[in-house]
Amino acid sequence: MRDFAGYACAFENAFWFDIVPRSIACPGLPPQVLLHAGPPYRGSPPAAVLNAAVQALLYEGLASGEAAARSMISSGAVQLAPAQDYCVATPLAQVVSASMPLLAVRQNSETFYAPVVEGPAPALRFGASDARCRDALSAMAAWLMEAVAPLVRRKPVDIAMVIRTALPNGDECHARTGAANEALVSLIDGLGAEDAARLRANPAFVLTVIMAGAGATLRSHRGGIEAIGGNGTEFGVRHCNETLWRRTAAEAPRGTRFPAHGDTVALPAIGDSAVIDFCGLGGQALDAAPLLAVEWAHLLPEDTKARRTAVVDQASGIVDPARVVQSRMSPLINLAILDGTGTAGLIGRGFYAPPASLFDPLPGDDK
């Protein structure tokens, strides 16, 4: 079995250590601010994100119904802000509100958060408007706080160990997470059989644990990219010590569609899970997921195998924007494909390659 231990180097000393509501993680953030993936919007959010924002307001009890929630958003009574600007990474279309539970990961002096994956579709991260998503998250939050949070507080979970276990077993730790989730469950010290089975039944649970770890890693690195993701209209990056996002019009991920959605118009790239790929996993670790590579073989760039060597700094395990500029090879980012109208939710899985020009230095970058 091939040794992928070096692929986890970016996550050394990253530990999942707590579960807290957003109000604790971001104490200065008012409930009327909702956090979304990617850069700030310059216009109206796409339908999937509006659905998720409505769900968040209903989850908080801030709106009496869907119509009232949409009115609050359109009037500006509720504001949307980039999650990564507040040390939160949120998957796909999910919008994070004040009482939603966040998984907390610390690496060295940096702490980063990501929301809980409540289950398979229909789910908040897919922009679903189904009330069952809120019910599932409420039940998951209550159970996690009672059964799991005390365990990880007592003995935090080593994220690098999760990744080192998952990679040789066919996961690239983004589009494929079954082996990673199993590793995570096995590392929660004191977890009972019934609780372990509940986590195993939700194989995407580990995804946002890794996302929080990747967010902490990018902050800890203190160089290059600090935030990266798509908001469903634009894809953006924010460099260390910068406040403004550099962005470009996003395209939809390329990949495989579910049979009923071959012709469905897809939402452009969305999600903060790009942080995973920028920490050397996902699209930079497709050689660890041969089944995924075969699934996308007819779509992947011919130079896919060379991209990791070209864009990843081997010492840190993190994508180096200077290497992207020099090689003109853009990192691959594995992303789920969502319906562009916000009605069907998840319609497939694929990858997105932002243009290399997004990483070109701006005037004054060398000063």
Residue 165 lies in a domain: yes
The predicted model gives 270-275 an average pLDDT of: 98
Could you tell me the pLDDT band of residue 199, with boundaries at 50, 70 and 90? Answer: very high
- The range of the structural domain enclosing residue 196 comes to 1-358
Number of independent structural domains in the chain: 1
Per-residue confidence at 263, pLDDT binned at 50, 70, 90? very high
What are 55's two structure tokens?
A: 């769900």
pLDDT at 33 over 80: yes
- Which residues have a Cβ under 8 Å from the Cβ of 278 and sit 6 or more positions away? 214, 218, 225, 228, 318, 319, 331, 333
Does a structural domain hold residue 188?
Answer: yes
Q: Is the pLDDT of residue 365 over 80?
A: no
Mean pLDDT of 172-178: 98
Say if residue 361's pLDDT is above 90: no
pLDDT of residue 165: 97
Q: What was the pLDDT predicted at 225? A: 95
% of residues, the chain, pLDDT over 70: 99
We report the CATH number of the domain holding residue 206 as: 3.90.1700.10
CA 338 remoteness from chain centre: 14
Q: Is residue 363 part of a domain?
A: no
**312 falls within a domain:** yes
**What is the rounded CA–CA span in Å between residue 292 and residue 182?**
19
Q: How far apart are CA 82 and CA 166, in angstroms?
A: 30
pTM: 0.97
CA distances from 323 to 138, 307, 312, 318, 361 (A): 43, 10, 7, 11, 12
Q: Is the pLDDT of residue 366 over 60?
A: no
What does the pLDDT read at residue 364? 65
Place of tokens 């649970």: 205
Q: Looking at the domain assignment, is residue 32 inside a domain?
A: yes
Q: Is residue 367 part of a domain?
A: no
Asked whether the beta carbons of 10 and 280 are under 8 A apart, the reply is yes
| Mean pLDDT for the chain overall | 96
What span, in angstroms and rounded, lies between the C-alpha atoms of 187 and 206?
A: 12
Tell whether 366 is covered by a domain.
no
Provide the pLDDT confidence category of residue 5 given band limits of 50, 70 and 90: confident
Mean pLDDT of 318-346: 97
150-162 burial code (b ≥16 CB/10 A, e <16): ebbeeebbbbbbb
Does residue 210 sit within a domain?
A: yes
Is the model's pLDDT at 236 over the cut of 60?
A: yes
- Please tell me the predicted confidence (pLDDT) of residue 362: 79
pLDDT in tens, 84-130: 999 999 999 999 999 999 999 999 999 999 999 999 999 999 999 99
